Amino acid sequence: MERASTSKKDLQLAAYAKALAHPTRIAILNYLEKQSSCFTGDLVIVFPLAQSTISQHLKELKKAGLIQGELKPPKTKYCIHQKNWKIAKELFQQFFD
């Protein structure tokens, strides 16, 4: 039997899937996709969660590369990382085809 190896695309898809494994993160991405950008405080108003919880979800999405943050002291402005968002969509499409 031939041993399968894990490709870079497989690892990247798994990282995206892990980031999407929580419904709040999916909701945050859906929200951000409809906005040009927003601040953490805006998300706390939209989602009935503590700021620390929202921040943790943003951290996971940023770690996966699905969003990016720009420091605007004293706040951070978040938006979809367009290049990686496109890659994620393509990888999921290939996986499900």
Q: What is the pLDDT of residues 66-79, one digit of tens each?
A: 999 988 888 889 99
User: In the chain, pLDDT over 90 holds for what percent of residues?
Assistant: 75
Domain extent listing, the chain: 15-96
In this structure, which topology does domain 15-96 adopt according to CATH? Arc Repressor Mutant, subunit A (1.10.10)
Give the list of residues 6+ apart from residue 34 with CB closer than 8 angstroms, or none.
none
Separation CA 79–CA 10 (nearest Å): 25
Which range among 29-33, 72-76, 91-95 shows the weakest confidence by mean pLDDT? 72-76
pLDDT score recorded for residue 74: 83
